[in-house]
């Protein structure tokens, strides 16, 4: 969905490096989410945010941190990347009383 | 602990056939059940969703059947087409919760 953008789209990094994945949205939604997708495991929630001042841990937050810089921007950081954090990462948004979550195109992260 | 169990993991159907994907849940507090469709290289996108006050919802060739007493719901794709080839995820969300819990996904292949 072009309304939700993620950068970078692909990233290869080394163990121990700090890395930031960024998400921006033009939908005007207040809720933003970070998910991780692994083959055969589906999508698992890492963090979610209701607004700039409200950050919540998801199912698998260990090893990750987030920052909500503005209503439209939500970043995911890996402070010290490890190989088992190799995965597809998706940002999603939702707003108001609408149930739908709108996903970005994903970032493929490889940690060597 | 997997809260939404999805089956099968993969499914191959001939063009024109019916594709059926099943999901089961344990948490009786779930009150919203969406299905997401994901094409390779893309983020998931909402396909169809249902709430437990109805037993069936149909949108075009896609139908959700919901069995509250059995705590099961399924996606039926009628007249399956090669363009339906994608990975399908069921999900569930509890009342008052912002968090979607996803199944592990089903890779559907529709042969021409």
For chain A, what is the HEC assignment? CCCEEEECCEEEECCCCCEEEEEEECCCCCEEEEEEEECCCEEEEEEEEEECCEEEECCCCCCCEEEEEECCEEEEEECCCCHHHCEEEEEEEECCCCCCCEECCCEEEEEC
For chain A, residues with pLDDT lower than 70 are: 1, 96-98
| Pick from B93, B95, B81: nearest CA to B103 | B93
- The confidence score (pLDDT) of residue B25 equals 96
Closest CA to B89 of B29, B21, B25, B26: B21
112 residues of chain B, pLDDT tens digit each = 558 999 999 999 999 999 999 999 998 889 999 999 999 999 999 999 999 899 999 999 999 999 999 999 999 999 999 999 999 999 999 887 878 999 999 999 999 9
Contact B43 A50 (CB under 8 A): no
From A41's Cα to the closest Cα of chain B, the distance in A is 5
Taking CB atoms and an 8 Å limit, are B89 and A106 in contact across chains? no
- Chain A environment of B41 (Cβ under 8 Å): 105-106
Asked if the C-beta of B93 comes within 8 angstroms of chain A's C-beta atoms, the answer is yes
């Amino acid at each position: 969905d072009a309304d939700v953008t993620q950068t970078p789209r692909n990233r290869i990094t080394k163990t121990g490096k700090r890395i930031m994945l960024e998400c921006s949205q033009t939908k005007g939604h207040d809720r933003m989410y970070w998910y991780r997708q692994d083959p055969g495991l589906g999508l698992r929630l890492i963090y979610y945010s209701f607004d700039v001042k409200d950050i919540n841990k998801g199912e698998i937050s260990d090893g990750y941190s987030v920052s909500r810089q503005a209503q439209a921007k939500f970043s995911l950081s890996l402070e010290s990347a490890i190989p088992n954090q190799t995965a597809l990462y998706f940002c999603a948004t939702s707003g108001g009383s609408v149930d739908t979550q709108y996903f970005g195109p994903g970032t493929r992260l490889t940690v060597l | 602990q997997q809260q939404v169990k999805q089956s099968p993991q993969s499914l191959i159907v001939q063009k024109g056939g019916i594709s059926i994907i099943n999901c089961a849940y344990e948490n009786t507090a779930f009150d919203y059940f969406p299905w997401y469709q994901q094409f390779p290289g893309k983020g998931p996108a909402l396909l169809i969703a249902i709430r437990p006050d109805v037993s069936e919802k149909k949108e075009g060739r896609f139908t959700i059947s919901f069995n509250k007493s059995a705590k099961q719901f399924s996606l039926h794709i009628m007249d399956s087409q090669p363009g339906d080839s994608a990975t399908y995820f069921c999900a569930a969300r509890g009342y008052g919760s912002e968090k979607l819990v996803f199944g592990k996904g089903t890779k559907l292949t529709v042969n021409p």
